[in-house]
Amino acid sequence: MSPAIHTAPRILLVDDDPVTIETLRRALLGLGTIYFASRGAEAVRLLSEVRPDIVLLDAELLDLTGYQILDALRSNPELADVPVLFVTRHGEQEIEQAVLERGAVDFITRPVRPAIVAMRVKTQLRLKEANDRLRELASIDPVTNLANRRAFDEMLAREWRRCLRNRKPVSLVMVDVDRFKRFNDHYGHAKGDQCLTAVAGALRGCVHRPFDLVARYDGEAFVMLLPETDTAGVLQVGQRILSTLAAIALPHAASDVSSHVTVSVGASSYDAACASWLGIQDETFAVVDPGVDSADLLAAANLALYAAKRRGRAQQCFRSIDAATAAELAAVA
């Protein structure tokens, strides 16, 4: 996995009082990029689009309560760990208890004291940065320095939902090193790890966008998640992988496929904008789609990978996802 790109923290202020918004903005200048919302519906939209690092949330808005927004946020796996500080006109113990029980990390009472707000926000941002770093370290494969299977599963679930919500295509590439057991038997496991590291570097060089993910899936298998990539795009990536490995030409004397290391590639793609059988998005980020899910995309890529192996390896095969394919995959499962 490539090192994380650290950007300025994103701070979302949700309040229908312009004076409070301005006070909070001045208090938090220099701590990050600040976004504003004065209505609950606008806040819900920004939560999804901005993915803030912290939210300061008014308990009582004109269209939605802060509690409703917090419940929606906590029910969304993509946003569940975002710290929320409630801004309330109340100071009673029962209000504080209700706020914390619903998942807020702290609360601020009016009138707002800028120095206290800044200190509490700094503390929560430091805690989130530390937790994000721990999650990042737990998501790296130690041999290849790529994302591991856990990180891939989490990213697939997140990007699948996002692409469906925005009616964008999403694609997968499964890559398997051909005759890797023979490589290990012939050269030894230390050389085998070096081979996997070299393949990982080649795969990483085949994608260029920050939201593309290359991960070690299992053993000598790798996977590439390509959000907002259609069929033509994923086929280009697959061909780039084959060409890159051929150009590197890592020796593989024990292979019956080639004198150098080769890979088999299985690609799959799903385009939500072209799926007339797609379900409906609700207002709390959920996507209801009875026909297909991310597991079907992965299964289709696996089927394509095995087809590439059956046809002689060192090549690419493709399976699209549509209603018929989803039904076929369900029958296989």
Nearest in space to 1 (alpha carbons), one of 196, 216, 198, 245: 216
- SS3 (DSSP) at 256: coil
pLDDT at 169: 93
Tell me: do 74 and 96 sit in the same domain. yes
Domain end point (choices 137, 161, 195):
137
pLDDT at 284: 37
Question: Is 325 inside any structural domain?
Answer: yes
Question: Is 142 inside any structural domain?
Answer: no
Question: Is 4 inside any structural domain?
Answer: no
The sheet with strand 84-88 has its strands ordered as 33-37, 10-14, 54-58, 84-88, 106-109
Question: Is 3 inside any structural domain?
Answer: no
Pairing of strands 169-177, 221-227: antiparallel
Query: Which amino acid is it at 209?
Result: R
What are the residues whose beta carbons fall under 8 Å from the beta carbon of 318, sequence distance 6 or more? 231, 234, 235, 238, 266, 267, 268, 269, 304
pLDDT at 189: 95
Q: What is the pLDDT of residues 134-151, one digit of tens each?
A: 877 788 999 999 999 999
Tell me: do 163 and 287 sit in the same domain. yes
Let me know: does 164 contact 156? Beta carbons within 8 Å: no
Tell me: do 202 and 97 sit in the same domain. no
pLDDT at 27: 95
| Number of domains within the chain | 2
Tell me: do 291 and 164 sit in the same domain. yes
pLDDT at 333: 52
Q: State phi, psi for 253 to the nearest 5 degrees.
A: -70, -20
Task: List beta partners, residue 107.
Answer: 86
Query: Could you tell me the pTM of the whole model?
Result: 0.64
What is the Cα–Cα distance from 230 to 214, expressed in whole angstroms? 17
Question: Is 291 inside any structural domain?
Answer: yes
pLDDT at 279: 44
Tell me: do 153 and 114 sit in the same domain. no
pLDDT by residue, tens only, the chain of 333 residues = 444 445 799 999 999 889 999 999 999 999 999 999 988 889 888 988 898 999 999 877 766 777 788 888 887 777 888 999 988 876 666 777 777 887 889 888 888 899 999 999 999 999 998 888 887 778 899 999 999 999 999 999 989 988 888 889 999 999 999 999 999 999 999 999 999 999 999 999 999 888 899 999 999 999 999 999 999 999 999 999 999 999 999 999 999 999 999 999 999 999 877 664 444 343 333 444 546 889 999 999 999 999 999 999 999 999 988 655 655 665 655
H/E segment holding residue 281: none
- Active-site positions? 220
Task: List beta partners, residue 33.
Answer: 10
Tell me: do 94 and 189 sit in the same domain. no
Tell me: do 54 and 29 sit in the same domain. yes
Tell me: do 125 and 211 sit in the same domain. no
pLDDT at 2: 43
What is the Cα–Cα distance from 174 to 239, expressed in whole angstroms? 13
Place of tokens 């997968």: 172
Query: Which amino acid is it at 253?
Result: A
Segments forming the whole domain that contains residue 20: 10-137
pLDDT at 331: 61
In the chain, DSSP assigns E strands to 10-14, 33-37, 54-58, 84-88, 106-109, 169-177, 213-218, 221-227, 263-271, 316-320
What is the Cα–Cα distance from 251 to 44, expressed in whole angstroms? 54
Tell me: do 298 and 159 sit in the same domain. yes
Domain end point (choices 81, 111, 137):
137
CATH code of the domain in which 123 resides = 3.40.50.2300
Tell me: do 57 and 128 sit in the same domain. yes
CATH code of the domain in which 191 resides = 3.30.70.270
Nearest in space to 176 (alpha carbons), one of 203, 154, 140, 149: 203
Q: What is the pLDDT of residues 221-267, one digit of tens each?
A: 999 999 999 999 999 999 999 999 999 999 999 999 999 999 999 99
- SS3 (DSSP) at 212: coil
